[in-house]
Structure 1
Amino acid sequence: MRFHIQNFTSTIRVFIVGSRNLLLFFLFFQSIGIQNANSQNAQLNGLTDKLEKLTTSFPQEKVFLHTDRKFYVPGDPIWFQAYITAYEANLPSVLSTNLRVELFSKDKELIVEQLVFVQTGYGEGVIDLPRDLKGGSYILRSYTNYMRNFDADFFFEKEIVVVSDSVEAETSPNTPQNLGDIDVQFFPEGGHLVSGLPARVAFKAIDNTGHSIDIKGRLIDPSGALSIDIESKHDGMGDFSFIPQFGENYSVQIEGRNKAFNLPQVEEVGYSLYAYPESEDRVVIRISTNLELGSDKGHFLAVHSGGSLLYNLDLSLNKKVTMVILPTDIIPEGIFHITLFDGLANPLLERLMFKKGRGDTVIVTTEKRDYGTREKVELKIKADNSLGRSQSGIFSLSVIDLGQALDYAPEQSIYSELLLTSDLKGYIDNPMYYFNDNNEYATEHLDLVMLTHGWVRFSWQDLKDDVLPSLDYFIEKGLTVSGTLYKFGSDKTISGGEVTFISNQAIPPIIASATTSDNGKFVFEEAVVYDDDTVFFKGQRDKKRDNLMFEIDSIQYRWPSFSQSILLRGDKIDPTSNLSFLAKNERRDLIEKAFGLDTGVTVLDPFVVDASREETKKQALLKTAYGKGEDAYSFIESQSASSHTNVFSALIGKMPGVQIVDAFSPNPTKINIRQDASMGKLRDPLILLDDGEISMGTASQLDPNSISRVVVFKSLSATGLFGSAAFGGVLAFYTKGADGIVEETKKWNENFLNTTIKGAYNSSRKFYSPKYDVKSDLDIKYDQRLVLFWKPLIELDEHGEATIEFWNSDEETSILIDLQGLMSDGKPFQFTKTYETKKN
């Protein structure tokens, strides 16, 4: 928990105004420094201590998925990058590694479910839409297991629209021709209507589908003495001001309808609040009351953002109107909360407001404004903080052809999600509308959102009563891989047996051991395994080589029921646009089929042990990331390698100059490749697995059936690039997975099992994009890509910079660049740009 309390550098100004002067003639002026941020009220300090405990002990995770676009056809891939943040500053989360991603139909039918591995807040994936999927709106939902402890309305949700011949055009619900039943809700600023006190009331109107609808009407009372015209300003939201009187019942009559909507009841005594941003640097707050408080009544004004207390100010409301000018320089970008408490720490009034930032510290540039077809585009990112120092961050990039897409600038981004919608319950249509610098009404309309949506992540009353969240769902770190060990050919389980689990595809490789329980069960925690990884289980009983049998458990999850909180608009597609989109997609398919390509998949050439035209069989075996070794041995071609218990015993006598001792005994294996003349003694060799260093103990646990080959470096000249760690030589082992060798069937070999894990992390794949600076036979194909480029996990270098290259298609069109990212300090970033392409 971080308290952002400044001393003496900012000033809160408090003006106390007499009740008879509603023109706010300043009869009294008092200047209070921020040193009063720590209140002397014990009960309120106890309440803010509980807020600190809530924030630190129950951190809130948020999820955002950046997708390549919004509109698809059946069979398309949905490319996405996942961002997970935690704590009040939206820092990249180091909590959960497991992210659920689901696609639901609007009828709550689960279409696709995935488990995505996320490392330090970032992950990637791809969802292949079924080719027989019906057209219409779908909901992409994502969350962590830990997020299930809180309201499901805070799960990430995004509308995905699938366009097909089954999509029917409908009239937009936000028009007078399609009113249907409507509902109007009223939200007095601060929460109350109080007799005789000026009140600002916000309202929101929705139709029978839950979508906003614009209205006009009149505020009236039964006597007819009051009549005020009202009209919504944006998305069914608006506001009006009046002075309510106790005992009067106020209502709003909607124009063109024989129905009135009642305002909340007027309270006889109490408080009212009015707040507005006077400038970028300060907010003016007016607190009014009709109570006779006297000089001894203490009140307290607290300001917090995301659970972090910013101000805690003592107030003496001994006059009817008090004005507070609140500096906002220490308030972070996003939603902040103003709460008035009485002397017993009971909340009296609350108001949400939004603090906008002062501009981005990330600069994104392209070399040119417009480009030619098939021309290379270089996108450069440069990130600095306010002090001009380079920053780190992770980004994702989508580039699409607007001439073929139904998409346009994103309505939802990581910026609007983390700073706005993830902290508000209820649907907000097109949240990026409020952050458009060219929209002169953006700030005014965003304040209407603040007035019509309440803060629901915690309750002050619950804090006061020590009601804390119940944590029924734990933070997940990796996967739990489990199973049962049996005696081969029987149902008898083996207790006290040793099971070794090996996953060579992981970086670094996972090698772990477990002892079976009384019923033969074994468990490995925090494993990182993908659904297409071949993993290895090695069993041993009483240090003997018995024939054993494994039963591996599938990884099962109880997915929470679907609860939709967003509204869907994607079925409202213009039929002409719909047909054009499908026609262009059909043309792309015909082109791809003619050339036998699928642009959704990149086929990567596996490592092939057989000699190619350029290199001999021996040269292929010698190939490493550090250059060619001096000798090599193939486990695949060996007739006896699979019968050995470890890789070192399989190598005895197989490689000239490599002496292996104690490979069969319980003593540590000793390997002699080269004597260290300077030390006058033998030195252990450096052991590598798939080009990463591992220990001798770890290497001794490697299953020979998982290894493709081993490469040796012996001489001083060959080992020089490895440094002093390689004085004893180098043995570089390569797994079958690293060499692109896939086992077609599960392989039994005495006490070994090669298999895949059902329910493991879903694998992603690389996006295909041509490079026209390299000549290819496929260059003759007409290039009509809709998604020109998709790149996740773009990392800035030590200078805070990154350069991304991609090539335009053959289309003369408008191109949209959509770059989104998260800085290491938790600041979200979103950038869009369009450019034109013309034939050269």
Structure 2
Amino acid sequence: MKILKTTLFLFLLALAGSAAFAQQDTIGIRTVIARQNKFAESYPVEKVYVHTDKPYYASGDTIWFKAYVTVDLHQPTILSKVVYIDLISSTDTIMRAMKLPVINGFAQGNVTLDPLTYKQGNYRIRAYTTWMRNFDPGNFFVKNIPVADADKQLSVRAVFAPAAKGAATSARIIYKNADGEPYSNKKVSWHIETLEKTLEKGRGVTDQNGVLQVGIPAARIAADDAETLVASVETDGKKPLVNSFAVKANTRNTDVQFFPEGGKLLAGADMRVAFKAVKPDGLGIDIKGTVTDNDGKTCATFASQHLGMGSFLLTPESGKTYKASVTFPNGTPQVYSLPAVQQSGITLAVNSLLPSAVGIRIIANQAYLDQNKGKPYYIIGKIGEAVVYGAQTPLQDKTYDIAIPKAKLISGVLQITLMDTHGQPLAERLAFVQNKDALNVVVRADKPSYTKRQKVKLTLTAQKQLQPAEGNFSVAVVDETKAPFNDNDEASILSYLLLSSDLKGYIEKPGYYFNHQDNTTMSDLDALMMTQGYRRFAYTDLLANRLPQIRFLAEQGIDITGTLRNGTGMPLSRGNVRLSMADRHFTQAAVSDVNGMFKFSNIPLIDSVQVTISARGTYGANNLMLMVDAPTLPAVTGNAAAPDAIADIDSTYRTYIKNSKQQYSNSRLLKEVVIKGAPVLKLPSHADYPSLAGLSQLADHTISGKNFEGCTDFLSCLRTMAMGLTYDQGNFYVTRNYNSGDRTPVQIFLNGLAVDNNALVSMNPADVLSAEIFVKDDLGLVNRMYNSNGVLAINTKAAALKSMPKTKISIDQLKDMMGRNDEVTIRPQGYSLARQFYVPRYEPGKLNGIGVDLRSTVYWNPQVKTDKATGAASVEFFNSDGRGSYRAIVEGIDAEGHLGRTVYKYKVE
């Protein structure tokens, strides 16, 4: 498949007959480029960007979103036809897993935040395709989504005093009521816990300002545990309010790193050294300082220019060492060692701020030049996996300058590598190329200003190099008086696809680099390039043929596969298998191959409908076994967007919460209903079984069977939901012990009986009532008996039936309960249905029954297509009852991968 659209220009500045090429282990620059291009064609890079209508929400809201799925240089993908969107909680639980059809590179959907399910906290969206699972999961799209509770009676936040590793710290828990007044003189009990045990306990009373001071002893702060401060406050006779706050992130040291340009400090060479200072929460912090050598001489001074990043000039001397004395904003000093000085070496420097070119300077010190003068070297530049520049040059002097015309490049992260003729990278530098190749998107309104509930018509026009552009856009219109936010903080289609998706690590305030581009923002962006890692495939792996293992093929639709076997367990070929969906009057036939495998392709599954797969048409059907393959799910890994988490949601989004409280007040009048006299059916749990009698009455974590609805593979779903447990090599382990090297497995129990992992493989998710997790066994009875560490107890609905009154059943009912081996009924995950955004229609001069219109998102349209001939499209909607500034965010892309974004504001008076 040939997808790449790129221009490569190659300069051969040295004689191809150089003596260096006589060696057997050398490799030509054309070979390097050919291998890279072959790799790019064989392993196309897919990316997913998700545009949401707002950056934060309240319980009861609906998240509206559009997924842009691109391949290679941002063209709408022709590779994958399915995208996965997960909404994950702060405890790494998948709250909602969606599968969406990708049509021409786009998908759309929504998630309603049911107040009974989505409590206040920081959630995150994770988006990926199956093809992307072949590579680093860090390539998945991740976005933090704060969710506020509009029904909360109290506003609670905790402020931790920064502390060094192993040092004592403290926390101020601040309570305020719904009106923002201090919640004073209230009793609070608190404790600090890990997944396994409680570390510290205490009690106190809030002062007149609603503040409780909690001291955290140094002995209770473990460096490698995820500690949580749990506080319970009285609420005027009602049940206590419990809040949890992460402790670990507030007890780390501020980190400062230094990055010599090109990767190394060379003796005798004039160099730039970049630096980055990061607070314990992962955000940048401004610093200043001086650099001194081992003789105490001051060699440089520096101060951060943006978000803790900056650079300074240094000429390292042979035989010397260097230290940086850093001063933080609070006056605290700290000393850091710079990287060691190399006595002989070669590196490169880059100037990407030139108006028409990217300047590259090859720098060698005298010792290296004396040993390698005249030898050829390669310079290769690539954007994504596409090689856009290649040059071969001999080393003739200590410095050599090359200019790459920007007109020959596209916007994005340019990776520049200096390489020897053996294919060994010697120095590398990232630079950002900003060309005028984005779509020019302009929005115009039909009126200079509007009144509330007035009809609005917005016309958007897209151009590419002054010519009309046919693009696909999403449009969100938000009343920013109700939902204010800083556009610099937010990722956009430009900042993500051009920048964040190609860099390792967290990018703070990505929108800042694209919203108002000038010399300052471009200089700050260059500082980011010098301090951030690159996530693309390494040349050393490519040239050594260490290529990614392809385990997942790009999906063209929803497929269901399995194996047909005879009574002896041997694969049965040429067996007739039929899939049917009674609700949709759909059937499809398949024939098993020589390995007994069968496949149904492009099944039109919507949500989790019931599917029946039968082999009854095959000879000897009564003695056959059908085995349906269960899909695998990617594990929930660390949260790349963790620094974006909002610690104080109540105060940060007070304006939005106040509006949401008013908006949803009519639908939330019924707070609690108590039914007296109704019989209570006791559901089975671990407490019903003598083998588990030694465990605590309450599990550390309990997963309801409802969470497994829609799962096709119980074990895969359980792996992502089992808090405190890690799954590896067919066993569950307590995460804390696993991370410390302990490989003692968790013991699994099924209805009180000890089983191994194989018992979970064949379980039907619909049969599960609950899963109880115990990361500790206080009495040690279970652990000693089974030589285990931790317990996973599975309770099934069949056990619950035993406690119900006995009733007679028919023979047919008994057969249905027992099931048949030649027929399987499953509920595989299908495509999630996308709702239509409701747009009210108001008529001038007429009253409407809607009451007060407090919507913050007044319009959402994920399918706005500009005309090919004119580049124009228009949308119409009605304002809500809010007065003030309204913000229209337009994002999109054309078929050739040109990106476009604009923000338009208008007034409602």
Shift in Å at residue 345 of structure 1? 3.2
1:349 match: 427
Q: Is the 8 A contact 1:434 1:442 kept in 2?
A: yes
SS at match of 2:266: coil
Task: Output the CA distance in 1 between the equivalents of 2:903 and 2:449.
Answer: 15
User: Which one-letter code corresponds to 2:854 in the other structure?
Assistant: Q
Shift of 1:51: 0.6
1:793 paired to 2:863 = yes
Partner of 1:318: 396
Instruction: Report matched runs for 1:407-556 at 5 Å.
Output: 407-409=485-487, 411-437=490-516, 440-481=519-560, 496-497=575-576, 499=578, 501=580, 512-515=588-591, 523-531=599-607, 541=617, 556=631
TM-fit CA distance, 1:548: 14
Q: Retained in 1: the 8 A contact 2:353–2:522?
A: no
Output the aligned Cα RMSD.
Answer: 3.9
Letter in structure 2 aligned against 1:379? L
Partner residue of 1:162? 147
Where does the alignment leave 5 or more consecutive residues of structure 2 unmatched? 22-26, 165-169, 171-249, 567-571, 670-815, 817-822
> Do residues 253 (structure 1) and 331 (structure 2) align?
no
Quote the offset at 1:66 in angstroms: 0.7
Whole-Å separation in 2 of the counterparts to 1:333 and 1:519? 49
The alpha-carbon distance between structure 1 residues 322 and 103, as it changes in their structure 2 partners (threshold 3 A), is same
Q: Find the counterpart in structure 1 of residue 830 from structure 2.
A: 760
Aligned residue among 378, 394, 404 for 2:472: 394
* Cα distance per residue 1:249-271 (max 9 Å; x no partner): 11111124453111111100112
- Distance across 1 between alignment mates of 2:7 and 2:636: 42
- Contact kept, 8 Å, 1:392 with 1:795, in 2: the verdict is yes
Matched, 1:60 2:45: yes
Aligned to 1:90: 74
1:816 is matched with which residue?
887
Q: Any unmatched runs of 5+ in structure 1?
A: 8-32, 488-492, 595-747
Pairwise CA distance, 1:755: 9.0
Equivalence for 2:359: 284
State whether residues 852 and 881 of structure 2, in contact with CA within 8 Å, keep that contact through their aligned partners in structure 1. Answer: yes
> How big is the shift at 1:391?
2.8
Asked if structure 2 preserves the Cα contact closer than 8 Å seen for 1:503 and 1:529, the reply is no
**CA offsets per residue over residues 651-671 of structure 1, 9 Å max, x none?**
xxxxxxxxxxxxxxxxxxxxx
**CA offsets, 1:515-573, max 9 Å, x none?**
46899986412323111668788987489xx9999999696433323222223344244
Q: Distance in 1 between matches of 2:77 and 2:396?
A: 46
1:524, 1:38 → 2: CA distance? Answer: 58
CA contact (8 A) 1:124 1:792 kept: yes
Q: CA deviation at 1:235?
A: 0.9
1:593-608 equivalence runs, <5 A: none
Output one character per residue of 1:699-726: Cα deviation in whole Å (capped at 9) or x when no partner.
Answer: xxxxxxxxxxxxxxxxxxxxxxxxxxxx
1:170–1:417 Cα change, 3 Å: farther
Contact 2:29–2:392 under 8 Å retained in 1: no
Counterpart among 829, 835, 840 of residue 906 in structure 2: 835
SS at match of 1:814: strand
The CA deviation at 1:98 is 2.4
Task: Choose from 29, 33, 41 the match for 1:48.
Answer: 33
Runs of 4+ in 1 over 6 A off after TM superposition: 35-41, 172-180, 483-487, 502-505, 516-521, 534-540, 546-552, 753-756, 774-777
Q: Does 1:771 align with 2:841?
A: yes
The number of residue pairs the alignment matches comes to: 648
| Matched ranges for 1:730-741 at <5 A | none
Instruction: State the shift of 1:119 in Å.
Output: 2.2
| Per-residue CA distance 1:783-823 (angstroms, 9 max, x = gap) | 22111011112233343332111110122121111111121
- Post-superposition offset of 1:183: 1.3
Aligned counterpart, 1:697: none
Residue among 101, 106, 109 paired with 2:90: 106
8 Å CA contact 2:281, 2:643 repeated in 1 = no
One of 291, 297, 308 as aligned partner of 1:236: 308
> Is the partner of 2:341 in helix, strand or coil?
coil
1:302 to 2:302 alignment: no
TM-score (norm 2): 0.65
Q: How does 1:131-170 map to 2 (within 5 A)?
A: 131-132=115-116, 133-164=118-149, 165=152, 168-169=156-157
Task: Name the CA distance, whole Å, in 1 between partners of 2:6 and 2:652.
Answer: 51
Aligned partner of 2:297 in structure 1 is 225
**Aligned with residue 382 of structure 1, among 461, 464, 470:** 461
Query: What amino acid is the match of 1:784?
Result: L
**What secondary structure is seen at the aligned counterpart in 2 of 1:384?**
strand
1:160 positional shift: 0.3
Letter in 1 for 2:379: L
* Residues 36, 313 of structure 1: 8 Å contact kept: yes
Residues 459, 872 of structure 2: 8 Å contact kept: yes
| 2:265 and 2:341 in contact (8 A); partners too | yes
Post-superposition offset of 1:342 = 2.5
In the TM superposition, residue 278 of structure 1 has moved relative to its aligned partner by 5.1
Superposed CA offset, 1:427-462 (max 9, x none): 001101011226652100000111011223111111
Structure 1 position 212, deviation (Å): 1.5
The answer to whether the Cα contact below 8 Å between 2:36 and 2:542 also exists between their aligned partners in 1 is yes
Q: Within 2, Cα distance between the matches of 1:36 and 1:392?
A: 42
Query: Alignment partner of 1:527: what SS?
Result: coil
Q: What one-letter code is carried by the residue in structure 2 that aligns with 1:199? A: M
Q: Deviations over 1:629-681 (max 9, x none)?
A: xxxxxxxxxxxxxxxxxxxxxxxxxxxxxxxxxxxxxxxxxxxxxxxxxxxxx
- Structure 1 distance, partners of 2:389, 2:855, is 53
Report deviation, 1:246.
2.1
1:200 aligned partner = 272
Q: Percent identity?
A: 30
Shifted more, 132-141 versus 772-781: the winner is: 772-781
C-alpha separation in 2, matches of 1:778 and 1:536: 48
Q: Displacement, 1:203?
A: 0.5
> Retained in 1: the 8 A contact 2:12–2:392?
no
Q: Tell me, yes or no, if structure 1 residue 367 matches structure 2 residue 446.
A: yes
Question: Following the alignment from structure 2 to structure 1, what is the Cα–Cα distance between the partners of residues 578 and 840?
Answer: 46
**Residue 195 of structure 2 aligns with which residue?**
none
Conserved 8 A contact 2:842-2:848: no
> 2:13, 2:393 within 8 Å by CA — same for their partners in 1?
no
**Alpha-carbon separation, structure 2, partners of 1:128 and 1:115:** 16
C-alpha displacement of 1:241: 0.5
Assess if the C-alpha contact under 8 Å between 1:408 and 1:816 holds in 2: no
Give the secondary-structure state (helix, strand or coil) at the position aligned to 1:309.
strand
Distance 2:486 2:826 in 1: 41
Preserved CA contact (<8 Å) 1:485 1:548: no
User: Which amino acid in the other structure matches residue 220 of structure 1?
Assistant: T
**Is contact 2:130–2:552 with CA below 8 Å preserved after alignment?**
yes
Partner amino acid for 1:804? V
CA shift in 2, pair 1:571/1:268, >3 Å: same
Shift of 1:591: 5.1
Change in Cα spacing, 1:485 to 1:221, as seen in structure 2 (3 Å) is: closer
Q: Is residue 198–residue 272 contact of structure 1 (8 Å, CA) maintained in 2?
A: no
| 2:54 partner letter | R
Corresponding letter in the other structure for 1:128: T
Equivalent position of 1:805 in the other structure: 876
Say which SS state the counterpart of residue 138 (structure 2) adopts: helix
Q: CA deviation at 1:284?
A: 2.2
In structure 2, the CA distance between the partners of 1:796 and 1:548, relative to structure 1 (3 Å rule), is: farther
Contact 2:12 2:391 in 1 (8 A): no
For the pair shown, the structure with the greater C-alpha radius of gyration is 1
The equivalent position to 2:260 in structure 1, one of 163, 182, 188, is 188
Q: Secondary structure at the match of 2:362?
A: strand
